[in-house]
Amino acid sequence: ISISIIQVRLVMKAHSFVRENVPKVLSSVKEKAGPVPIPRITQYLYFLFAPTLIYRDNYPRNPTIRWGYVATKFAQVLGSLFYAYYIFVRLCIPQFRNSSQETFNLRGLVLCIFNSILPGVLILFLVFFAFLHCWLNAFAEMLRFADRMFYK
C-alpha cells in the first residue's frame, strides 16, 4: 500500500510540473523570444522533496533551519508511533486473540469489530498527526520551506 501511495504522490507531482512548465515553453517557442525557460534540475529536485503538490520555480524560504524544532517533530513522530503500538497491543489484539480460541459465531465477530472501532479511530488520528503535522513540518523545516499552509 505504501508503494502505491508514493507512486500516486510522484505522479501528482509530475503532472503539476508538466502542467506549470509546458505552457511557458510553448509560449516562448511560439513567440521565439530568446532562450526557452526550462527549469533547472535543482528546482525539480527541491519540488520532489518539498511538502507541496503545486510546482513553482521559487518557493518562500526561511533563512535558517531550526534543528531543535526538527528534533521535536521527529520525537513527536516516534511518540505517536509508540502510542499507536501501545493502543493496538492493549486494546485491539486481545479482542481478536480471545475470538480465535472460540468457535466462529457472528455475534462474537461483530462484538470484536465494535470493540475495536474506537481504538482504530484513535490510531488513525495518531497516524495522520504523525505524518501530516509532524513529518511534513520536519521536512519543511529542513528544506527551509517557509509556506506552511501545505495542508490547504
Q: Tens of pLDDT along 5-44? A: 889 989 999 999 999 988 888 887 787 767 777 888 999 9
Residue given cell 503539476 in the structure block? 16
C-alpha 49/C-alpha 25 separation (Å) is 24
Q: Which pTM was predicted?
A: 0.72
84-140 pLDDT, tens digit each: 999 989 988 887 776 667 777 888 778 888 888 999 899 999 999 998 889 988 988
Domain regions of the chain by residue span = 1-59, 61-151
Give the three cell numbers for residue 152. Answer: 490547504
Q: Considering the chain, what percentage of its residues have pLDDT values greater than 70?
A: 93
Buried b (16+ CB within 10 A) or exposed e, 94-107: ebeeebeeeeeeee
Residue 127 in contact with residue 84, Cβ under 8 Å? yes
